[in-house]
Amino acid sequence: MSVIEKDFVPVGYTADNITGKVTWKAPSNIALVKYWGKRENQIPANPSISFTLDACNTTTTLFYVKHNSKGADFSFDFFFEGEPKDDFRPKIEVFFKRTEHYLPFLRDYHFKIETSNSFPHSSGIASSASGMAALSLCLMDLEKQLNPEMDTDFMYRKASFLARLGSGSACRSIQGDLIQWGAHSDIHGSSDKYGIQYPFQVHEVFKNYHDTILLVDKGKKQVSSTVGHNLMHGHPYAAQRFEQAHQNISRLKPVFVDGNLKEFINIVESEALTLHAMMMTSQPYFVLMKPNTLEIINKIWEFRKESNSNICFTLDAGANVHVLYPEFEKEKVHQFIKNGLIVFCEKEQYICDRIGFGAKKM
Ligand code: PMV
């Protein structure tokens, strides 16, 4: 075990907490340089960088009651949007198993976990990032009560570390506004084990960037992220792709300083298409884009050419399109989205989001 992992194992607790509850709201995030491919224990095959979002988030309340003696199993009830949800239980069980070594109090309590999303469940927007981030923060909040001298930086770092064990990209959903995850030679302090706040200068233009999420396909994906990541093992282009992600993070450094939006667009759109190219060249191959995903991409390119706008798109592991644009183009782009893009959305649905500043205790 590395020094860092050892640091996350508590040596003991100075307080005892019998019963109580905590609530945290954690945001979703959208990667600019994509994480696709992982090694054992949720270690990313390449570094990634993301905008933390704001409107798309998960709120989780953790109620806890201490048992008289340590339980043989984890003991918890899980409620999603007010209803008991048994199909979520295995995910939580796995998460508790993976994190128990770092949270030795887990079997000491009975938990009730109540969670809800700000976005509709069937929107094609994955709630695993915001969900695992919110739950990790609730558990760290409890650990801070058991160890009141814990400092806040450590608490956030360990929350990111735990969230990663739940769902890789969740480690980028703890803080804001620009988060880097995965060891990179140019970024001092970067780690495969947790996300960090991007440590360099960032131009004002990126401080209030917009992300309008066009809901192209609200159904369940045919191929999960877990399966997709695994198909990068033995993928013919994997090595080049991982190297390219390192290079794109280096290329973004001067872009973030200067606010060079043309170069930003070039890197971000290329990353989105490369992610999907990896899917299409996996064995077995698969396609998550839909015809309307491509319609939207083409319309964005046309509009950018005609109007000299800085609008661009990115994609996650699905058919929905994230439309990115700076604050100063807000009116013009909103008009274009309403008149030109929402016809390609399922039931004309879309979500107006923007860059956010991280999770909050409620
Ligand atoms: O965290 P996961 O396992 O759901 O993977 C996320 C993968 C992408 O969204 C496609 C890219 C990313 O970096 O978020």
Report how far apart, in Å, the C-alpha atoms of 52 and of each of 15, 21, 174 are.
33, 26, 8
| Predicted local distance difference test score (pLDDT) of residue 1 | 46
**With 0-12 CB in 10 A as exposed, 13-18 as middle and 19+ as buried, what is 188?**
exposed
Average pLDDT, the chain: 95
CB 270 within 8 Å of CB 262:
no
CA of 101 to the centre of ligand 1 (A): 25
Residue with tokens 């369940």: 220
| Predicted local distance difference test score (pLDDT) of residue 221 | 77
List the single range of 5-19, 40-54, 62-76 with lowest mean pLDDT. 5-19
Atom of ligand 1 nearest to the CA of 38: 3
CA of 30 to the centre of ligand 1 (A): 9
| Predicted local distance difference test score (pLDDT) of residue 123 | 67
pLDDT digits (tens, 9 = 90+) for 126-141: 789 999 999 999 999 9
Report how far apart, in Å, the C-alpha atoms of 137 and of each of 49, 156, 215, 238 are.
21, 8, 29, 33
d(CA 193, CA 180): 11
d(CA 173, CA 27): 6
List the single range of 25-29, 122-126, 262-266, 323-327 with lowest mean pLDDT. 122-126
List the single range of 70-74, 90-94, 152-156, 320-324 with lowest mean pLDDT. 70-74
Ligand 1 near 271 CB (within 6 A): no
Model confidence at 46: pLDDT above 60: yes
CA of 170 to the centre of ligand 1 (A): 9
d(CA 10, CA 12): 5
| Predicted local distance difference test score (pLDDT) of residue 120 | 77
| Predicted local distance difference test score (pLDDT) of residue 14 | 92
For residue 235, count other CB atoms closer than 10 A to its CB: 20
Ligand 1 near 317 CB (within 6 A): yes
Ligand 1 near 167 CB (within 6 A): yes
pLDDT digits (tens, 9 = 90+) for 172-211: 999 999 999 999 999 999 999 999 999 999 999 999 999 9
Estimate the share of the chain in helix, then strand, then coil, as percent rounded to the nearest 5.
45, 25, 35
Ligand 1 near 274 CB (within 6 A): no
| Predicted local distance difference test score (pLDDT) of residue 5 | 79
Choose the residue to mutate in 41, 316, 322 for probing ligand 1, maximizing ligand atoms within 8 Å of C-beta. Answer: 316
Share of the chain above pLDDT 70, in %: 98
Share of the chain above pLDDT 90, in %: 89
Residue with tokens 């609200």: 218
Give the three-class secondary structure for 37: coil
| Predicted local distance difference test score (pLDDT) of residue 318 | 93
User: Helices 152-166 and 89-99, interaxial angle, to 10°?
Assistant: 130
Cα Rg of the chain, angstroms: 20
Strands 75-80 and 109-117: parallel
d(CA 301, CA 116): 36
Q: Which two tokens stand for residue 277?
A: 């190219």
Read off the pLDDT band of 229 (50, 70, 90). Answer: very high
User: Helices 128-146 and 89-99, interaxial angle, to 10°?
Assistant: 50
Model confidence at 65: pLDDT above 90: yes
Q: Which two tokens stand for residue 147?
A: 């160890």
At residue 169, what is the residue type?
S
Choose the residue to mutate in 225, 249, 274, 275 for probing ligand 1, maximizing ligand atoms within 8 Å of C-beta. Answer: 225
pLDDT digits (tens, 9 = 90+) for 136-177: 999 999 999 999 999 999 999 999 999 999 999 999 999 999
CA of 269 to the centre of ligand 1 (A): 16
- DSSP bridge partners of 180: 49, 196
**Mean pLDDT for the stretch of residues 232-259:** 98
For residue 53, count other CB atoms closer than 10 A to its CB: 25
Return the beta strands (E) in 174-218 as ranges.
178-181, 195-197, 210-214
